Structure 1
Amino acid sequence: MMGPRREAQAALFYEFSLEDHIPQDHLLRSIDRFVDLSCIRAHLADFYSHTGRPSIDPELLIRMLLVGYCFGIRSERRLCEEAHLNLAYRWFCRLDLNDRIPDHSTFSKNRHGRFRDSELLRHLFETTVARCIAEGLVSGQRMAVDASLIEADANRQFSASKEEWDINRIDVAAAPRAVREYLDTLDEAAFGADSEVQPKFTSFSNPASQWTATRKGPAFFSYSDNYLIDTDHGVVVDVEATRSIRQAEVGSTKTMLNRVKDKFDLDPERLIADTAYGSGPMLDWLVKRKIAPHIPVIDKAGRTDGTWSRADFEWDADNNQYICPEGEALKQFRRNYSDPNRGPTGKGVAKYQALKHTCQACPSKMKCSPNADARKITREEHEDARDVARAIRKTKQYKVSSKLRLKVEMLFAHLKRILGLGRLRLRGPCGANDEFLPAATAQNIRKLAKIFPAPQQPRKA
């Protein structure tokens, strides 16, 4: 028999507990165990007025932001709607059923003000990294670095070519916030000071973004999200936003390594990266810091005509000379100069040459220098560090490092596909950092929650 129709009737009193309605295996229960925001009020104390109407609890705003980044809710307007409807979100944000959700505009107001002034988002990220270190997920011995392009909030139709772009015509007083941030970062290495190359197009609304393209893909405006991770469990130990140019990405590596050294006393034994980080100055900087560069060397000394390249010659550091496969020496100087100005300078490129009569009588001349009277070899300023990297590449540890480097690629894939950070919503260098930092914080918290899930409690009968 069909039962009677049920109609919703409003009750005067309800006996309801959020705690009983959140599943024991819900991700937010595990995440909540590793979210410690007790220090936020002290960190923001100097940025609030002592008089006036009480403001919204900053801990509530941060908890809502963490929910948004952990579950890929990109819109703050939609985040407020989801927090209003979802019981688990209310439980995590310490909201009762009758508590009102803050307006979405509150996030922008605080972000552009006290959050940026106090660097709260970086403080929150570093707090999470410290928790990962305390839980034993970070040893600091092996680290990997890489960058990924994140599409900027900019349109090709609202941009100018490098011939049309004139920075002197910008009215600073009337310019948008993103443009003013761009002008403030012109002298920073992370946003183009390390490179003299002018971008093909510059966005009017987001000029700090870089017009670039991925491999075999269309060009677009983007920022680079730079990650420095510990390879033990793939924990992000530092993050930096830069312009999408190689010089800026490589420069950010030095910034991040110095920062984790000062903040957490982490000094890795090896750094793992791809070929983009294999320049001579970068390798030399790592070797001087006693960090083993597990990085492919950028080397253009190879030959395509089948003749011997520089790699076929043995370097004799004690005598400052190269030894060819036939056992002959290629020297930079063959006499002692009494005038120090005529001797070697130790800077730039050094040239080494064999004797002409030796090369002419050599049986392997056609394999070595068929079109020259004598063989010449150049040696760059940082060639010693490059030799260190070449020697490391022949070891078994390097093969292990090549596999470990995939962990940072997996983090970027998770960032874009699961957390939905394929395109930025905020503009300018500060906007990029304001999105990259909470996203990395969410990844670390999810990592903690996955490795140390919340203990399961039996359900009440």
Structure 2
Amino acid sequence: MQGKKNYTEKLFLSFQLSDRVREDNLYRRLRETLDLSFLYKDTKELYGRTGNPSIDPVVFFKLLITGYLENITSDRKLVEHCSMRMDVLYFLGYDLDEELPWHSTISRTRQLYPASLFEKLFNKVFVLCVDSGMVSGHTQAVDSAPIKANASMESVVPKMPATPMDDHLKKVSEENGKTTKKHGGNVSPAHISAPAHELKRVEKHHQNLRESPVRLVGASHKKARLLSNKTHYNPHDPDARISVKPGKARKLNYHCSMAVDTAEGVISHIQADFADGRDSQYLTDISLKVQGRLRKNELIMTDILADAGYSNGANYHFLEQRKLTGWIPVFGKYKPEIEGFPYNKEKDEYSCPMDRPLPFKGFSTNRNGSVLKNYWAAPKDCKACPMKPQCAPKTKSKKIARTIYDEQYLRAYARQHSEKGKRMKNLRQSTVEPVFGSLTQFYGLRKIGVLGKAGAQKVMLMAAIAFNLKKYLKKGGKKPSIGIFEAIMDAFQGCLTICRHIRPRPVLQMAP
């Protein structure tokens, strides 16, 4: 006989969400594990003493955690999604007949709370992972990736020139006037702060693009907008920067830097930076913050893994000063030896193929601020040399410039080509890169839905919190089993304790 289900809505007189949520449910376990009561004290000073009560800070952060666990970045969709999930309602502390907070309240509260509060929650979750034995601390893998900002390249406008400067700035001024009329003239202009040599470098690059004979079908550099962070910005989100990833189009992005512990893949640090900076300039700050967080949890960092983007002489020197071993490959242009010019470390000089010395002459600084050591031969030696047309065709004598961190580069180069260096490279690739993929695909970090660098920092912290929480619950939140030696010592201590509480029996004496 065919069955037919007739539905009639009933009024339940007795109903509890806890009876409908399974014991192994993610949000039930999260409710029993995560204690957010400290938020009441930390957010008390942010509210006044009069007016209508705002959203509960615990409920606010639980809503955000749910959004990143469910990969929902829209506040409106998040509220709609939570209202249809009994397990999420139980996690939030709401009943079936209670209305969730309005979606705009979530957005306003996110702007109200400082980034330090989000970081405090991240530290609390990180402590849970440390206490469960998921963090070793000694080896950290560092990497970065651009995250798309909530701004469009179509809204980019030129910066106002601070002072008229060459043809490039005249072109920018003309374009700025047209763009200001296009946007209604209500945009507060930003001024160019880049030095003259950087602007000339940008103009030269754009000129090469215009004159390049190699172009895609249908593309024209003359008609394309040649944009640079030195001369353009987005008034909707001034903190967003133009950046490009190999093989992809240029976009307005934020720079996400992250450190991951190699034991279980727990995120130990994450931060938002401007997308126009190099990876190498953020390594110092990342290392100090990771070391500080691990030290508070009585852990010591000894090794740091990163790709060639973090290769920098100052970084190698900094890591050695902090007694850290940096497994960072040197960049491709570095040459450990100059062919035909052997170096004598004791005399601190080079020798040319004609066995003429190139002694150290002094230091110099290039346009980027890097300090170089200069070596050059005597003009009289090069003047009579038959190899001068090939060796020094445009100068009076042969000159060699080396970085002041050449010894640090050589040590990093040796580590890179060692067997352990190859293993460390594989360890970095299998640790931090999958975490970035998970954050962008499953934890709401594909795009920054808020404005400003501070807002991007909050988004990245919440994505990392959700990732660490799920990894913590997946491991069961239990301490790992102790080793054999520790088990023997515990058993021995237990036996000693038992023996201390056993009373000795009286000795019976035989009658004579």
> Same fold judged by TM-score > 0.5?
yes
Match of 1:340 in 2: none
Deviation, 1:137, is 1.8
1:300 aligns with 2:330: no
CA distance in 2, matches of 1:311, 1:414: 45
Match of 2:468 in 1: 444
- Secondary structure class of the residue paired with 2:43: helix
Match of 2:135 in 1: 138
Deviation, 1:314, is 5.7
Match of 2:146 in 1: 149
* CA distance 1:329–1:138, change in 2 (3 Å): farther
Counterpart code for 2:107 = S
The answer to whether the 8 A contact 2:150-2:450 is kept is: yes
CA distance in 2, matches of 1:7, 1:311: 87
The answer to whether the 8 A contact 1:346-1:381 is kept is: no
- Shifted more, 223-232 versus 31-40: the winner is 31-40
Percent identity reads 26
CA distance in 2, matches of 1:428, 1:388: 40
- Secondary structure class of the residue paired with 1:283: helix
* CA distance 1:80–1:383, change in 2 (3 Å): same
CA distance in 1, matches of 2:247, 2:137: 36
Match of 1:159 in 2: 156
The answer to whether the 8 A contact 1:310-1:377 is kept is: no
Deviation, 1:40, is 1.1
Match of 1:332 in 2: 359
Match of 2:453 in 1: 429
Deviation, 1:152, is 0.9
CA distance in 2, matches of 1:314, 1:33: 67
The answer to whether the 8 A contact 2:142-2:305 is kept is: yes
- Secondary structure class of the residue paired with 1:55: coil
The answer to whether the 8 A contact 2:141-2:260 is kept is: yes
Counterpart code for 1:69 = Y
Taking the TM superposition and a 5 Å limit, the aligned residue runs for 1:268-417 are 268-302=301-335, 310=338, 315-322=343-350, 330-333=357-360, 344=362, 348-353=371-376, 376-406=399-429, 407-417=431-441
The answer to whether the 8 A contact 1:211-1:219 is kept is: yes
The answer to whether the 8 A contact 1:301-1:310 is kept is: no
Deviation, 1:232, is 1.6
Match of 1:219 in 2: 250
Match of 1:457 in 2: none
CA distance in 1, matches of 2:110, 2:30: 23
CA distance in 1, matches of 2:76, 2:186: 26
Counterpart code for 1:134 = D
Match of 1:458 in 2: none
CA distance in 1, matches of 2:476, 2:116: 29
Counterpart code for 2:21 = I
- Secondary structure class of the residue paired with 1:74: coil
* CA distance 1:399–1:125, change in 2 (3 Å): same
* CA distance 1:312–1:331, change in 2 (3 Å): closer
* CA distance 1:175–1:133, change in 2 (3 Å): farther
CA distance in 2, matches of 1:448, 1:95: 25
Counterpart code for 2:474 = K
**Gapped regions of structure 2 (runs ≥ 5):** 160-171, 194-200, 203-227, 366-370, 479-512
Structure number, greater radius of gyration:
2
The answer to whether the 8 A contact 1:199-1:211 is kept is: no
The answer to whether the 8 A contact 2:362-2:374 is kept is: no
Cα deviation per residue 1:229-258 (whole Å; 9 max; x = unaligned)?
A: 2222221111111111243x4333222222
Deviation, 1:419, is 2.0
* CA distance 1:442–1:120, change in 2 (3 Å): same
Match of 1:257 in 2: 287
* CA distance 1:134–1:271, change in 2 (3 Å): same
* Aligned residues: CA RMSD: 3.8
The answer to whether the 8 A contact 2:141-2:262 is kept is: yes
CA distance in 2, matches of 1:22, 1:9: 23
CA distance in 1, matches of 2:257, 2:357: 42
CA distance in 2, matches of 1:328, 1:392: 31
Deviation, 1:355, is 8.1
- Which residue, 109, 120, 124 being the options, matches 1:123? 120
Deviation, 1:356, is 9.3
- Shifted more, 264-273 versus 442-451: the winner is 264-273
- Secondary structure class of the residue paired with 1:286: helix
The answer to whether the 8 A contact 2:280-2:312 is kept is: no
* CA distance 1:135–1:319, change in 2 (3 Å): farther
* CA distance 1:159–1:354, change in 2 (3 Å): closer
Cα deviation per residue 1:315-358 (whole Å; 9 max; x = unaligned)?
A: 5444323478x89685425xxxxxxxxx7459732233578999
- Secondary structure class of the residue paired with 1:147: strand
CA distance in 2, matches of 1:301, 1:12: 75
Deviation, 1:416, is 1.3
- Secondary structure class of the residue paired with 1:259: helix
Match of 1:231 in 2: 262
The answer to whether the 8 A contact 2:229-2:241 is kept is: no
- Which residue, 188, 206, 209 being the options, matches 2:240? 209
CA distance in 1, matches of 2:357, 2:94: 77
**Gapped regions of structure 1 (runs ≥ 5):** 188-194, 303-307, 334-342, 455-461
Tell me the number of residue pairs that the alignment of Structure 1 and Structure 2 aligns: 417
- Secondary structure class of the residue paired with 2:437: helix
- Shifted more, 278-287 versus 22-31: the winner is 22-31
CA distance in 2, matches of 1:330, 1:29: 75
The answer to whether the 8 A contact 1:332-1:353 is kept is: yes
- Shifted more, 346-355 versus 88-97: the winner is 346-355
CA distance in 2, matches of 1:21, 1:264: 40
The answer to whether the 8 A contact 1:272-1:405 is kept is: yes
Cα deviation per residue 1:116-150 (whole Å; 9 max; x = unaligned)?
A: 2x722111112112222222222221112111111
The answer to whether the 8 A contact 1:270-1:292 is kept is: yes
- Secondary structure class of the residue paired with 1:82: helix
Match of 1:75 in 2: 74
The answer to whether the 8 A contact 2:376-2:399 is kept is: yes
CA distance in 2, matches of 1:219, 1:331: 45
Deviation, 1:370, is 9.6
Cα deviation per residue 1:354-391 (whole Å; 9 max; x = unaligned)?
A: 789999999xx89x959799865432122122122112
- Secondary structure class of the residue paired with 2:256: strand
